[in-house]
A and B are shown apart, each in its own frame.
Chain A
Amino acid sequence: MGDTEIVIIGGGPGGLAAAWRLTSRGVRVALLESGRRFSPAVDYPQTQDDFERHDFPYDPERDAEGRPRYGFGVGQEIGPEWEAYRSFDRVFGRYVNGDRRDFVRYEHVRGVGGSTLHFQGEAHRFHPYALEMRSRFGEGTDWPLSYSELERYYEIIEEHIGVAAPSGNEWRPRSKAPPLPPHGLSYASRRLSAAFEAIGAPLVANSLAILSQPHNGRPPCNYCNSCTQGCPLGDKASADVVFLPPAAGTKRLDLYADVQVVELEVDGAGRVNAVAYAKPDGTRERLSCNAVIVACGAIETPRLLLLSKSKRFPHGLANNSGQVGLHLTEHLHWSAVAMLPERVDAHRGQPIDGTAWRFAVPNESPRGYVGGFRLSTAHGALGLRGPAAYAQRFIAGFGRAHQERMAAQFGHAVGLIAMGEWLPNQETYVDLDPSLRDATGLPVARIHSQLGDNERQLLRHMADTTRAVFGAVPGAEIVEETSALDRFSAAHVLGTCRMGTDRQTAVADGDGISHEVPNLAFAGGAVVPSSGSGDAPSLTIMALAVRTADRLIGRLSAQG
């Protein structure tokens, strides 16, 4: 380890993409990950008889000793005017009975691969306007790089991981055709196509990092719809599948799983010179380095910086501006499940197989809010994998009559999900929890989240559009709706150490490197300055990580 040049903290899509890039360019890397290494064939084979009982084998809410992984702020008041937009299902009834928004969980995985271990394989490009929110619409912030530069890195990643997508998507322009042909829409999704057409939002195959044909030694998808539970075949571009093997193959990567970084240490010149971490047995080690890339996601990245206080950085590393932890954004979500008159067996296919991009151009037309959203067919993503979901959520009652309804209606459910823009606001941020501690005795991160008026108006449009689609399907009956209005259950969290040219309002500069600490860089959701129009962020995280890796090599070389 003495010759380690760069330490990467976090083995998710940002950290592993950076490790792949750095090692392939001759840099020696140590990657420290707080979670474990998973083995697909053992940990999520999807061959169990009781397959529907198995989620991805990680508890996002509590650690092995039952301690909460995160704290939460105060739930936002919902308001009686939003009664028609509360979450419910036909069996359980209303999900949140009180008048305040409920913090359910931060959806994530700690492990080598990070949240790509359970992601649905969506590989979206942000719309070019999403990088210009401040200059175009006077909201949020502008990115410190152009779309054309970002596109160069999108292309590198898409080719490497194998993105299957349709060509000619007018709402997501691109210079080059996608590397792989798109997947076909499932039968269940095609059943909804006419309804999408009826509202003027054509449904097309989603852009997926799931192979439609063999690519780089990996097999194609067999449409088991279990991405969220863990892909057993390796056709889905989990970061551990697509980046780790080539990085490890260079012999320049040292991977440390199950270690918790507790502090970044700085020298007298204000440069990070060591990383302190706790091993599973509680003992602590220290690792010297030339530079560090923090890639722990938008919740853990600010936590680590806030924990790393020193004389030079009394409010946390790289936080003399006070910006660390601010500008947290998530994605608004609205989902709905409806029963169709006939059987479509939506458990076959991919979790989010189709998307309508019609509304996914930020502020494409005046609608009373800034931003946009996309609407997707999301049968697997909403848990339509087998009959237990029907019995627990959609078909109420019990006894013989319930069994008859189960037999008559299983296979009839279809799901839609709308994902939308979230503008940064002062009430949505991450800090350190004053009372909760993790296994190392350090404060856990605390998540604060409140929808602004812009989000509420956008959410209303998302809900009304989703209902309009089902309204255009003869005989469809909505049996479940879930909403970000009354429930926080975010997965796409971004922005808490965002990039920007102004060091007073951004933690990282245009290269993804700290404004305050010259050998500290960032990869992962924390640096992404805006949330896009509901675009899944993994592809963008990977692209930015590779770009930052390139820029960091350049900086370190220039510094000698």
Chain B
Amino acid sequence: MHWLRWNRRVFLRRAIGAILLLTGADILRRIFLPSRIGSRERATLEVVLDTLIPDGYVPGARQTGVLDRLVDECEATRQTRRALVEGVALVERAARRRAALSFEALPISEREAVLAECAAAENESLPWFFFRTVRDRAMRLHYTHPLAWKSVGMSHGPQPGGYPDYEQAPHG
């Protein structure tokens, strides 16, 4: 019994120590969250965007320059900056769990599966917030680009001509 009590005490000490270390590391990580998105995160993010809005069938996110604008927007607040930094780390970890060197190294179907898992994650969780942050902004930034709105058959914006044909059936 003496042996058991001693081991339990050691175990508890070590467990508490580990919890403190992990908590401290997390606090430090939050405090020292970088003010800019780094090049490694940008590289992964570009692959995420390629997965969300691929080039090929129609112009994709690369052609409409989503990455730079998305990063600019997300760097503006700590919450969205953190979502990007931690979300990118999350998809990289998911790639390694799938035995790939990186998210980029995954086949497209596997990349889509990783993002689909994020989309389906519990509300307000990190993967959920990461996916929502990136998808919502990416779609807005992409589809407000003339290349994208023309690709779905919208011929022109509101002005200067307006839509004097508004009473007619759509053309084409």
Which chain A residue lies CB-closest to B160? Answer: A47
**B131-172 CB contact bits vs A (8 Å, 1 = yes)?**
010011001111111101101111001111111111111100
Given A49-B157, A224-B162, A225-B163; A388-B144 close (CB under 8 Å): yes
The answer to whether B169 touches A52 (Cβ under 8 A) is no
Given A349-B166, A404-B57, A410-B153; A388-B159 close (CB under 8 Å): no
The answer to whether A45 touches B159 (Cβ under 8 A) is yes
Docked Cα-Cα span, A387 to B140, in Å, equals 9
Query: Is B80 interfacial (CB-CB < 8 Å)?
Result: no
Query: Is B47 interfacial (CB-CB < 8 Å)?
Result: no
**B residues in contact with A392, CB < 8 Å:** 136, 139-140
**A residues in contact with B169, CB < 8 Å:** 187, 344
The answer to whether B144 touches A51 (Cβ under 8 A) is yes
**Chain A's nearest CB lies how many Å from the CB of B149?**
5
Query: Is A407 interfacial (CB-CB < 8 Å)?
Result: yes
**B residues in contact with A75, CB < 8 Å:** none
The answer to whether B52 touches A398 (Cβ under 8 A) is yes
Docked Cα-Cα span, A347 to B167, in Å, equals 11
**A residues in contact with B170, CB < 8 Å:** 187, 343-345, 411
**A residues in contact with B72, CB < 8 Å:** none
Q: Which one, A47, A399, A407, contacts B51 given CB within 8 A?
A: A399
Secondary structure call for the B interface: loop
Q: Which one, A49, A186, A399, A411, contacts B52 given CB within 8 A?
A: A399
The answer to whether A49 touches B145 (Cβ under 8 A) is yes
Q: Which one, A47, A345, A387, contacts B148 given CB within 8 A?
A: A387
The answer to whether A386 touches B143 (Cβ under 8 A) is yes
The answer to whether A403 touches B58 (Cβ under 8 A) is yes
Docked Cα-Cα span, A399 to B159, in Å, equals 31
Docked Cα-Cα span, A224 to B160, in Å, equals 9
The answer to whether A391 touches B58 (Cβ under 8 A) is no
Docked Cα-Cα span, A406 to B115, in Å, equals 19
**Chain A's nearest CB lies how many Å from the CB of B49?**
10
**B38-81 CB contact bits vs A (8 Å, 1 = yes)?**
00000000000001111011100000000000000000000000
Docked Cα-Cα span, A291 to B115, in Å, equals 64
**Chain B's nearest CB lies how many Å from the CB of A222?**
3
**B residues in contact with A452, CB < 8 Å:** none
The answer to whether B157 touches A348 (Cβ under 8 A) is no
**B residues in contact with A310, CB < 8 Å:** none
Query: Is B125 interfacial (CB-CB < 8 Å)?
Result: no
**A residues in contact with B124, CB < 8 Å:** 97
Docked Cα-Cα span, A222 to B163, in Å, equals 6
The answer to whether B154 touches A50 (Cβ under 8 A) is no
Q: What number of residue pairs across chains A and B have CB atoms under 8 A from each other?
A: 130
Q: Which one, A49, A185, A232, A348, contacts B146 given CB within 8 A?
A: A49
Residues 167-190 of A contacting B (Cβ, < 8 Å): 184-187, 190
**Chain B's nearest CB lies how many Å from the CB of A228?**
11
The answer to whether B166 touches A187 (Cβ under 8 A) is yes
Query: Is A120 interfacial (CB-CB < 8 Å)?
Result: no
Which chain A residue lies CB-closest to B145? Answer: A50
The answer to whether A386 touches B168 (Cβ under 8 A) is no
Chain A contributes a number of interface residues (CB within 8 A of B) equal to 46
Q: Which one, B135, B145, B164, contacts A398 given CB within 8 A?
A: B135
**A residues in contact with B123, CB < 8 Å:** 97
Docked Cα-Cα span, A255 to B148, in Å, equals 44
Docked Cα-Cα span, A402 to B142, in Å, equals 13
The answer to whether B54 touches A403 (Cβ under 8 A) is yes
Q: Which one, B52, B136, B153, B168, contacts A407 given CB within 8 A?
A: B153
Query: Is A88 interfacial (CB-CB < 8 Å)?
Result: no
Docked Cα-Cα span, A392 to B139, in Å, equals 6
Q: Which one, A46, A344, A349, A387, contacts B159 given CB within 8 A?
A: A46
Which chain B residue lies CB-closest to A188? Answer: B166
The answer to whether A53 touches B144 (Cβ under 8 A) is yes
Given A347-B154, A387-B152, A403-B53; A184-B167 close (CB under 8 Å): yes
**Chain A's nearest CB lies how many Å from the CB of B115?**
7
Query: Is A147 interfacial (CB-CB < 8 Å)?
Result: no
The answer to whether A225 touches B145 (Cβ under 8 A) is no
**A residues in contact with B142, CB < 8 Å:** 391
Query: Is B26 interfacial (CB-CB < 8 Å)?
Result: no
Query: Is A385 interfacial (CB-CB < 8 Å)?
Result: yes
Given A46-B158, A398-B52; A406-B167 close (CB under 8 Å): no
Docked Cα-Cα span, A388 to B52, in Å, equals 14
Q: Which one, A223, A225, A391, contacts B143 given CB within 8 A?
A: A391
Given A387-B148, A399-B54, A411-B153; A224-B163 close (CB under 8 Å): yes
The answer to whether A410 touches B154 (Cβ under 8 A) is yes
Query: Is A48 interfacial (CB-CB < 8 Å)?
Result: yes
**Chain A's nearest CB lies how many Å from the CB of B36?**
21
**Chain A's nearest CB lies how many Å from the CB of B73?**
11
Which chain B residue lies CB-closest to A190? Answer: B167
**A residues in contact with B161, CB < 8 Å:** 222
Residues 381-401 of A contacting B (Cβ, < 8 Å): 385-388, 390-392, 398-400
Docked Cα-Cα span, A224 to B164, in Å, equals 8
**A residues in contact with B141, CB < 8 Å:** 53
Given A348-B165, A398-B115; A226-B159 close (CB under 8 Å): yes
Q: List 5 A-B contacts (CB under 8 A).
A: A47-B160, A224-B159, A344-B170, A345-B170, A398-B112
- Point out residues on B near A: beta carbons under 8 Å: 51-54, 56-58, 112, 115, 123-124, 132, 135-136, 139-146, 148-149, 151-154, 157-170
When A and B form their complex, which 4 residue pairs have the shortest distance between CB atoms, in order from nearest? A222-B162, A348-B163, A224-B158, A348-B166
- Point out residues on A near B: beta carbons under 8 Å: 45-53, 92, 97, 184-187, 190, 221-226, 232, 343-345, 347-349, 385-388, 390-392, 398-400, 402-404, 406-407, 410-411
> 11 more A-B contacts (CB under 8 A) besides A222-B162, A222-B164?
A48-B157, A49-B157, A187-B170, A222-B163, A224-B159, A348-B166, A387-B148, A391-B139, A399-B52, A404-B57, A411-B170
